[in-house]
Structures are given as C-alpha cells and as structure tokens.
Structure 1
Amino acid sequence: MKKINTTLFAIACSAAVMSVPVAAAEALQRLVVSFKTDSAERVSAQSTSQTDSHCFTLNSGTNWCVPVPVQNRVYSAQASSVKAAELKSQVVSVPAELPLEQAIQILSETGWYQLVEKDIAVSVGTWNLEAPNDQYFAEQFYFSDNSADNPNGSSILSQWTLLKNPEKLIHVYVLDTGFRVANDLDYQPGFNFETVDENSRPGPGFLEDDFIVEGGSCSNMHGVGVAGVVGAKINNDTAVAGTTGDVAIHPLRVMRCGSGFMSDVATALNWLSGDSINGFPDFDGVPGVVNMSLGGKNADALCPSYIQTAINRATAAGFVLVTSAGNEGDSADFYIPGNCENVINVGATNTGLSGHPADIASFSNYGPKLDVMAVGEEVVGLVIDNKVGYWSGTSSASPLVAGMIANAKKDFDFTPAQWASLMPISSVSRWVDGARCNEVGCANGVLDAVKLYENAQKLQDGTLDSLTLSLNAVSACRQKWMLENLSKGQKLCDQAVIKMGSMAALNEGEYIEVHALRSGQTVEDGTGLSGSYTQSTIVMDKSEFVDRTVFVRRCDAQGQCQYPIPLSTLALNETPEACLE
C-alpha cells in the first residue's frame, strides 16, 4: 500500500470536545418496565399497541403517566419465574421532582409489571485533539504478525492470505453515535434508535448532523472511527485500511452525540431480531457481526433483563455480538453490556512497542468478564472531515475483534456461541513478569487472527475436539519401542486420549466432565457420565467409547457447567501402525 500524507490527529477516548456533554443522558431519569404480552406477536419498546396508560398526580400537581398492560394484569412475587424472553419492555420517563428510587417503589407496588429496572445511561467516551501527524498504514502495527517484537499484534495481514472466499460479503452492524461521511467508507442505509429527548426522531437516517437540533452543534465522530476500524476501504490509496474487506457496514444510531440509554440499544437489537417498530421498515437483512463500542456502569454488577433478553434474541437469530469492556480502569463486572451473557467482551492492551512491555492499557476495564483483548492504543482510524487520527480506548479494540471475526466468517459458518468459544483458544499472551495483566486478569491475551482461522478450520473439520488413540501421536518407530519396552506394553494400543482444542487451560476449582452416551442417555440426566477430571489431557480406555456418543463440558467450582461439546470419535478407527503387527 502507498503511504498517504493526511492530517493525523491523536485521539484518546477520555476527554471531551463536543457541545453536548457525555453526562447529558445521565441528567434524565428513565425506567424500563417489563410485562407479559397477550399475544405471541412481539412488539417493540417504541410501540404502545399492547398498553393503556395511567396517570399519577404528583405533589406539584403534575401528572405522571405510565404505560399499563391492556388487561391491567397484576403480578405476584412468585411471577419472577416467568422467562425474560416472554416479556415486553417499555421505557418510562420519570419527572425530575420524583426521586428515581421512589418511582421504582411506586411502579413495583402497582403489581402491573413483572420487572421495574433502571435504564442505564451509556456513552462511548470522548477525546482531545493534539499535534497532527501524516502517517497512516505504516502505523497500523497490529495488522502484522504477533511476535516477540510485536507482542500485541493480531496477525490480520496473514489472516487475509488464508481466506478462501475473500470477496464474500459479510454484514457488520455498528451500534454507535457520531457517524460522519467519509470518502474511505461506504455505509449501508442506516437507522436512528436514539430517544434521549423530545427532539429525537426514530426512524431512517444515521448521520449525526442530521439529528442536531436547530442552533446546536456536535463534533462527536465516534461512529465513523469505529466503522472505519472494521471496514475502511482497503488498497484504495485513501486514509487507512479496515480490518476486513468486502463488508457491508450498517450504521445504527443509538446515542445522541456520544451519550444515550441502554434501552435504545435493546430496541435496535430487538429490531434486528424481528420486532416491528413504528416508523421503521421490518428488518429483512442477513445476520452478521454486531459491534457495540459503548457501555454504562451498573453498580450492582447485574445485566438488566431488557438488555439481556435483547442480546439473547439477537444471538438466537445468528448475530455475533462484540462489545467494548469500558475505559474506566475498573472491574468489567460493573459495565453493561459487557457483563451480560452471550457477548464477546473486549479489553484493550497497550501497543507493546517502543519500550512499553506488553500489558493492559491503563484505561481498560479488566477481570474475569473479559473474553479477549486487542490493541486499544494508537489505533489508526477515520475522524471528522475526511481526516485520519489515532484512537485509544476499548472502543477501538472491539471493532478490531469484530473485523477479525468477520474475516473468518467468509469461510466458516458457526453459531455465535461457537465463535465465542474460539476466543480464548485463539488468543496469545506475551505479558512480561510484573505485568498488570497477570494481577487483574486480561482473558487469555490478544486475539490472533491466524489462530482464529486455524481453530475455525479445526472446528469445521471436527478435529478441534476429538478422541484419538494415544500411540498415533508418535512416530511408527517410537510406537514399536514403547510396546516392547514400557510396562503397559500392548495395552497402549487401546489407550485413547481426549484432545480438547476448544478449551483453554482450566482455572482453579474447574473440572471437566466426560459423558459417553448410549442410546436414550443424555448429558443432563448424568447416566452416561464416565468421570470428572481436573486436568485438560485425559487418557482412558478405548472400550469406554465404543458405540457411544461422547461429550465433554467444563464446570466451575460451584458445579455450574458450560454447554456440552461433542467429541469426534472417527480417529479411534485409525489403528496405530505398531498395533497391526
């Protein structure tokens, strides 16, 4: 690629230059109420077709009107067993004169709602502009192979060379704010889901300037930056290279100039999942990768029902959800949507270059809720007015991961859960002794795009998780020597080993269950349980698996087990050469 001389700004997602402050949404009070619908047909949070309204008179004489299910259904405390997926959620604005906790108590005591939850304010972070720099692709060091010299590199260029179908179109849905026109980026038609105030106009459109109220201004450019990291045009003599090519970028505006509410994010996800929304055409597109470089803090470290339900529906529809962990230098446990289930939560590393040992970026959230890491410092991307800049934040690490997944999706068709399972085993950790990552937790390291592709190939071939005969792992001459000289002798011919490529190393207290099922048995009833093991390499007798279907699953110290993984048993038919004599 040619090097282009262009104005290059340094951008860090942690200080502001915008007319609308990040805290604008936080100044508003909103709740999300959820209740059972009377019809199997789902409606969105922006539709009132299944609700009436009831007005409370406050001390000031102001009427506070809230939605009520059409049959005024009363819920008991026992109703908490109702599945979240059966619930319809709706936003309720709370007057400033009414304390939020009091509003929650009032609505909870009516018995009209299954759940009354706070609507979490979210933001994307902001930035400062500093001295210009005129370099671009040469600065995208994370595209190069992961190595001792480039310890936080993601091997993206090498992943490109492996693609069998590089021209296959992949769809990426960017839920964000601050979308701008850029010569180096083609958008698909986009939609606005933001409902921060009475000036909001949900429906078609996504460019930030189209939604600025008269007399207002906004310099936020977060959306164009994130979209460019994923899908800026490649090899076109302009600006930067996106992580993936032949990609359709779908901009979904869910915040106003950098801030908004999680309920609007949920509405966008529900629309992708098939909800009909007044003023929007029904979604008729193709599932793909969703990037959410946004987040908000929830002090009780819980994922609210309305966003978890929306996430579950989107993943069930085939969307892979990638999100940023947050830039507060705090435990990721407290930040949604990253702490929700069924998302790939991305933390940020430093560059690992120029005397900076590979480690977590100082601003990145951390801990066991992280699923994977990517570079989050000095990520070169698009900014306002067709310029190019350095981005820093988990907001830029997340689209790198989304782009690497989008590349691999050109050749492999997996479920969102399968893509998530590839994250830990496709990561590389080159943290040095004394690195902060070793103390706070940085998942299994930086996503390596080549390892992701290779593991995806193994998953497709059925060789990622398999049962093999242990002697087949050694050469024929060594096989013969082992049979003649080791105490087990001929018994080695029937020794099987479980190879679990999809599982990263076990943590303290974790164990692996092996289930060898005959007809009629299930993993859940435990009748085919062959044993529990605290090591990742398991050696058993071949006879344990003859004419059986084999599964393994990883369990934690509390006995909570992940979804069972099927093992291929085809390799058990490959008799070792020495055993044929």
Structure 2
Amino acid sequence: MSIQIIRAHKRRPVFRNHLPGILAAAVLLGLSAPLAMAGNSTPLPVADATSALAADRQEHDRFIVRYREGSPQRHDTQRLVQSLQQVVARSGLVGGAGLSVRHVRSLALGGDVVEVSRPLDRVSAAALMRSIATDPAVAHVEPDILLSHTGLPARVSPAMVPDDELYAQYQWHLHSATGGIRAPAAWDATSGEGVVVAVLDTGITDHEDLDGNVLEGYDFITDTFLSRRETDERVAGAHDYGDWNDDPTQCPVSPSSFHGSHVAGTVAETTGNGIGMAGVAHDARVLPVRVLGRCGGYLSDIADAVVWASGGSVDGVPDNANPAEVINMSLSGAAACGAESTMQLAIDAAIANGTTVVVAAGNDNADVGGFTPASCASVVTVGATRIGGGRAGYSNYGSRVDLSGPGGGGSADGNPGGYVWQSINDSATSPELGTPTYGGMAGTSMAAPHVAGVVALVQSVAETPLAPDEMRALLKDTARPFPVEIPAGTPVGSGILDAQAAVAAVAEPCEGDECEPVPEATPISNRVPVTGLAGGVDEAQLFSIEVPAGASGLSFISYGGSGDVSLLVSFGAEPTQDAADFSSARPGNNETIRIATPQVGTYYVKVVGVKAFAAVTLQARHN
C-alpha cells in the first residue's frame, strides 16, 4: 500500500476574469514530508481544514435571472437578451453602453444564466442587478457565484466489529465513545442496503474499497476550465479529473483533493472485507454527481444537480434512474440563502421529491447564516466536532446548525486523532498518475457525510420512509449530548450524531430468537439512594433508570462505605469496560458522572469493584 502524508495550505479567494465569484470554506491539499506513526510503519495522508471568508474584492460576469411566468422573456432567449441589453445601456454603469450580454443556458426551475462581456466589480455588479430588478417582469436576480468543498437504539450486544485492517486504529469517528457516532451498535440492525445517497462533489475515482457501492453518476459542470473536459456539455459518469491548479491568477495554487472520493467513502466504503477502512452505510449505493472542479463550481450547475439527483428533470440530461433518498453537499459559498434564491428553489424541489438534503455548515468559524447552502431552509446543516467531542475551531456555528458530526480537529489533535479517514488518491494532479489509497481530512465536509450515511441507515429499516422534515427532527432529537461544554456564542446544534439512537428510534421491534436480551438490571428511581452495595474485586452490579422527556442535568454518584469502585454508564445498552458512554474511576468510592442534556429512555449504570467494597451508596438524579 503506497501512502503519503498530505497537509493543507491556507486558502484565499482569487478570481480570474472568466470565473468571478465567491470561493468559500474549503480544504485544499499540498504534499509534504511523511509523518511517523506509532504502531504502524506506513504513514497515512492527512489534511488540515483551512478556509477563508470571501475577499472584499469580488468580480462577477455571470448572473442568474428569473423572469415571471407569462413574461415573453421566460421562454424566448432572444427577447431575454434584448431586454437585458437595454437594461445595461440604461444602468448608468461606467462604459455600460459597450457591455454586451450573452445567454449561457436555462436552469431546470425556470431561471437563466447570462454572461456579460467583462467582469464587473462588486459595486458595478450590484448596480446592474438593481437595474435588472426594476423590470416588473423580473422575479429574481443574483450572481452565479462559485462554491467550493468544505473539506478541511437497537438493543444490541455485542456490537458488530468490522475486520477492515485500518478501522480500529484510524476510524475513531465511527467507534469512539467520546467523539464518534456509535456506528458499530447501529450496524447490528442495518447497513443501509437499498438506499441511494447522492454525493454532489468533485466526482469520484476508482478505488477497490469503494467501487462496488458506486452507481454511474453524471458530470454537471458546464465550463471546460473547471471540468478539464473538452466540452461544456454535461456528460454521463462522474469521473474526477482532478481539481489541481497551478496558475495563481485563476485561483489558489493547490494539488488535487479527490474530495468527492473521501466523502463517498465515509458514506459507503465497503466494510467487512478485510481491507482498508469502513463506511457508515456500507451496503448503500453512492450516486456521484460532479459539480466541483478546478477553482470550484457554479451555483447554477449545483442547483440543477440537486434537482436531477432527487429525481427531477433537467433539460439535456436523461432522467436519473436512481433517485436519491438523501443528498450530501459538502460545499459552501459565502452568500445567504434567501427564500427566492436559486439554491433554495432547487432544495425545495428535492424536498418535494422526498429527498433529505444534508449540507456542511462551512469552515469559516462564522455564523452559518451568511453561507449557502448551509443557511437554506429545510436542509440538515451539520457542524464539526473533534475527537474529544468539542466544537472544531473552524466550524461555522449558529441557530441554523441542526447537529454536529465528526470533522476532526486537525493537527491540534495529532495523527490519526485529528482527522477523518477514508478512501483517496495520492496523485497531486490526475488520478491516473496516482494510486488509490487512504487519507485523513478535516472539515465540516467530513462531518456531513456521517449524517448522510446515518440517514441511509434509518431509511433502510424504517417501515415507512421518513419525510425530510421527519428525518431532520429525528436526527436532532436522537443526537447525544456534547461531552464537553459548547460556548453559548458558538452553538453547533443539538448534540453529536448518534447512529445507534437514530436507528433504534425507527427499527421494528425484534421477535423471538432475533432479539437481544434486555439487560437484567435493578430499576432505580430519581433521587432515591440505593444503599448497602457490596462486592469483591471485578464484581459488578447493574442498575437502570428511565429518563422522561424534558429531563435535564442527569447525574450518577456513588459515595460512602469502604473499598474502591468505578462507575460505567451507557444509554440503551449495558456498559462494559471496553464500551461505555461515560465512566468515572477515581480512587475510593466517590464517583460522579454528569450528563447535561440526557436522552429520553433507559440509562444503565454499573458499579464495578476495583477493590472489594461494602456499604456503598448509589444515587441517580435529574431535574
């Protein structure tokens, strides 16, 4: 296995004349020297999450204009161009009389992309859009900005453990009790079979640990500079030609990221095959849709791809034979998502088709309200957490973030703990010049596909598929509390994604021999002490408490007596030394576990003898 270390460069938006727009939060990769890893002589590649807010100086030469139904411009491109040309002439722009307008193409939901003959600075572009908007026939106008990727419970015992060779050491984000998503416990109930997950990203490359779960997708990029193809036409397949750039006048110099393959691997990398790594919904199918290339991807192309992936029709593209139950967009642009914006209309169409849309919050350490598609209505917006369960410093935040998932803290948390690990290609340019391998990245790009994968797990076992609004509510309600305090000024949702709890909320009750036994535990009541506990070394006593809706401040304490005990606590399952949601192991018998925002349901607490103990008291309390 040929593997290298990959690190990230700082990204700043730079626009070429032909491609003005906004390049927002992203992870870019650059080659560096290998790092040594304890316990493994073969280092794996990693990438830090870095990003930048849009530059103050922006230029635009592409705009999306939507005319009202019934207006002649709506269905006559010649009339449309003539009308806009007249607006340009009257707009008062410096040199506006010499500015020409060209129709680029029509959008799936009724808008049109137009291009002016030279880039306009921010002030001139805003003036032109104001002039266009004064036409009563115009319903909406906005710049066609560039977006870029943002890569930086069932009662089960024991949980299914994959035999993939790198799973245990590297994929903390799937199995860590503190920072992971509790995927192994969910895998005993489902693997996502029968569900299609569309990944709108840089496309996909060949990889033996992923190929078997990939459907034929589509390339929606309509600009040869971005796509590296010979045509502006959209084409079948979603091959990632590489998004490297070596010309700083176009956009930041960077090697290829193969971001789409990494994201797709998180969703559905083959699992249990004895090689490589594991995916969240490893029997689901990934539908790759290429919307990002060199320097990013146009909003107009991404919006059409959202419509198509969900089963809608797009002119010039065959209808999607495999409509997606869930769409993942690990991408972002620095623009708010208004009710009449092109992206919002595309998402509305996907929601109407029954597709859950999962999006990354973005990597700018800023309020998510200023970013698209993260601020769009009806999407599941995902922030990023670190291996310790706290907010990743780069993650966008705000009231619009629904929940968080593992994104990695980057080098601050070391290698491998700072990164999310998945399939990748080690080439700096074209994938044909490299080798399929595995690598670590950090970013909200990495957090979002964990959520998309859990959506696939849930839909595969739900008796009736959940509608998008029901799925969003379920994910928020079943998220587990953050194990560390999240500052009030930077909220990142209701908690950390919990695959086990989400699946358990919809899974049909088991019957007969298929059922795992309910743990034999002694019920205890809120604020009622259990006294006189005694036992020997390694002896354990198991108790349970039912936590009602609306409860807060759940705590477990032990005290008094002689000897030495430890406490283990898990939600919905018997805790063990190797698998507990929370633990306390101080010397003596004074142990405390606090859970600020407990889940609704059964918590199990185990008192374990570190030494022989007697006359110990246990108490559970909640408000």
Q: Which residue of 1 aligns with 2:469?
A: 417
1:96 corresponding residue in structure 2:
118
**Aligned counterpart, 1:429:** 481
| Contact preservation (8 Å) 2:201, 2:329 | yes
**Residue 124, structure 1, aligned to residue 158, structure 2:** no
Deviations 1:475-534 (A, max 9, x none): 9xxxxxxxxxxxxxxxxxxxxxxx996x998xxxxxxxxxxxxxxxxxxxxxxxxxxxxx
Q: Which runs of 5+ in 1 are unaligned?
A: 70-84, 128-133, 353-357, 461-472, 476-498, 506-581
Query: In structure 2, what is the equivalent of residue 467 of structure 1?
Result: none
Q: What is the distance in 1 between the residues matched to 2:76 and 2:194?
A: 37
Question: 1:459, 1:400 → 2: CA distance?
Answer: 25
The amino acid across from 2:256 in the alignment is S
Question: 1 CA distance for matches of 2:317 and 2:76?
Answer: 15
1:209 aligned onto 2:241? yes
Match status 1:375 vs 2:406? yes
> AA paired with 1:200?
D
The amino acid of 1:208's aligned partner reads D
Unaligned 5+ residue runs, structure 2? Answer: 9-25, 32-50, 90-94, 153-164, 226-230, 409-418, 426-434, 511-522, 526-546, 553-623
Within 5 Å, which residues of 2 pair with 1:482-497? none
Measured against aligned partners, the alpha-carbon deviations of 1:71-118 in whole angstroms (never above 9, x if no partner) come to xxxxxxxxxxxxxx9962122223435421122023223333111123
Query: Does the 8 Å contact 2:280/2:454 carry over to 1?
Result: yes
Q: CA deviation at 1:68?
A: 12
Matches within 5 A, 1:215-226: 219-226=256-263
1:396 is aligned, of 441, 446, 450, to 446
Distance in 1, matches of 2:371 and 2:171, equals: 29
Say yes or no: does 1:111 pair with 2:143: no
* Equivalent position SS for 1:322: strand
Aligned with residue 159 of structure 1, among 174, 178, 186? 186
Select the residue among 170, 175, 182 that pairs with 1:139: 170
Does the C-alpha gap of structure 1 residues 257 and 225 become closer, same or farther in structure 2, counting only changes over 3 Å? farther
**Equivalence for 1:268:** 305
Three-state SS of the structure 1 residue aligned to 2:397 is coil
- Distance change (3 Å), C-alpha of 1:291 and 1:26: farther
Do the aligned residues in 2 keep the contact of 1:200 with 1:211 (CA within 8 Å)? no
Residues in 1 aligned to 2:356 and 2:503: alpha-carbon distance in whole angstroms: 16
The one of 259, 268, 283 aligned to 1:246:
283
Give, in whole Å, the separation in 1 of the partners of 2:233 and 2:386.
39
Choose the corresponding residue for 1:449, options 491, 499, 503: 499
Alpha-carbon shift at residue 185 of structure 1 (Å): 1.3
Secondary structure, aligned partner of 2:5: strand
Q: Which moved more, 1:255-264 or 1:450-459?
A: 450-459
SS of equivalent residue, structure 2 residue 193: coil
Separation (CA, whole Å) in 2 of partners of 1:302 and 1:53: 25
- Mapped contact 2:359–2:448 kept (Cα < 8 A): yes
Q: Could you tell me how far 1:235 is from its partner in structure 2? A: 1.7
Give the match's secondary structure for 1:256: coil
- Conserved in 2, the CA contact under 8 Å of 1:190 and 1:252? yes
Q: Percent identity?
A: 27
1:455: how far off?
2.0
Residue 154 of structure 1 aligns to which amino acid in structure 2?
I
TM superposition score normalised by structure 1? 0.64
Distance 2:151 2:167 in 1: 21
1:351 aligns with 2:387: yes
Q: Which residue of 2 aligns with 1:311?
A: 347
> Residues 118 and 17 from structure 1, CA distance in 2 versus in 1: closer, same or farther, beyond 3 angstroms?
same
Which TM-score applies when normalising by structure 2?
Answer: 0.60
Q: Is the 8 A contact 1:220 1:258 kept in 2?
A: no
Question: CA separation in 2, counterparts of 1:474 and 1:138?
Answer: 38
Checking the alignment, whether the CA contact within 8 Å between 1:201 and 1:211 is kept in structure 2 is no
- Distance change (3 Å), C-alpha of 1:59 and 1:336: closer
The structural deviation recorded for 1:423 is 1.6
Match of 1:293 among 330, 343, 350: 330
1:235 maps to which residue?
Answer: 272
- Kept after mapping to 2: 8 A contact 1:16/1:126: no
The answer to whether 1:9 aligns with 2:5 is yes
> 1 CA distance for matches of 2:209 and 2:360?
24
Q: Which residue of 1 aligns with 2:196?
A: 171
The residue number in structure 2 matching 1:408 is: 458
Q: How far is the alpha carbon of 1:155 from its aligned partner?
A: 0.7
Distance in 2 between residues matched to 1:158 and 1:453, nearest whole Å: 9
**CA–CA distance in 2 between the matches of 1:392 and 1:332?**
18
Residues in 2 aligned to 1:218 and 1:181: alpha-carbon distance in whole angstroms: 18
Question: How far apart, CA to CA, are the structure 2 residues paired with 1:250 and 1:202?
Answer: 16
Q: CA RMSD in A?
A: 3.9
Q: Distance in 2 between matches of 1:260 and 1:288?
A: 23
CA displacement, residues 521-569 of structure 1 (integer Å, 9 cap, x when unaligned): xxxxxxxxxxxxxxxxxxxxxxxxxxxxxxxxxxxxxxxxxxxxxxxxx
1:407 partner SS: helix
CA–CA distance in 1 between the matches of 2:378 and 2:551?
A: 18
Shift of 1:51: 6.7
2:148 alignment partner AA: S
Aligned match for 1:200, one of 227, 232, 236? 232
Relative to structure 1, the CA distance from residue 102 to residue 364 in structure 2 (aligned partners, 3 Å threshold; closer, same or farther) is same
Task: Look up the equivalent residue of 2:491 and give its one-letter code.
Answer: G
- Is this contact kept in 2: 1:431–1:438, CA < 8 A? no
Structure 1's 455 and 53: CA in aligned 2 closer, same or farther, altered over 3 A? Answer: same
Q: Which residue of 1 aligns with 2:378?
A: 342
Q: 1:34 aligns with which of 66, 69, 73?
A: 66
Instruction: Measure the CA separation in 1 of the matches of 2:279 and 2:326.
Output: 15
Among 359, 367, 381, which residue is 1:323 paired with? 359
Equivalent residue letter for 1:107: I
Q: Which amino acid aligns with 2:469?
A: A
Shift of residue 170, structure 1, vs aligned partner: 1.1
1:273 deviation in Å? Answer: 4.7
1: distance between equivalents of 2:473 and 2:321?
Answer: 28
SS in 2 for 1:381: strand
Cα deviation for residue 370 of structure 1 reads 0.6
Distance 1:500 1:191, change over 3 A: farther
Change (3 A) 1:287 1:167: closer
Higher helix proportion:
1
- 1:323-376 CA deviation, whole Å, 9 max, x = no partner? 100011111111111111110000000111xxxxx3100111111111111110
In structure 2, the CA distance between the partners of 1:237 and 1:87, relative to structure 1 (3 Å rule), is closer
Instruction: Work out the CA distance in 1 between the residues paired with 2:256 and 2:238.
Output: 15
> Does the Cα contact within 8 Å between 1:175 and 1:291 map onto a contact in 2?
yes
1:261 shift after superposition: 2.0
CA apart distance, 1:309: 1.2
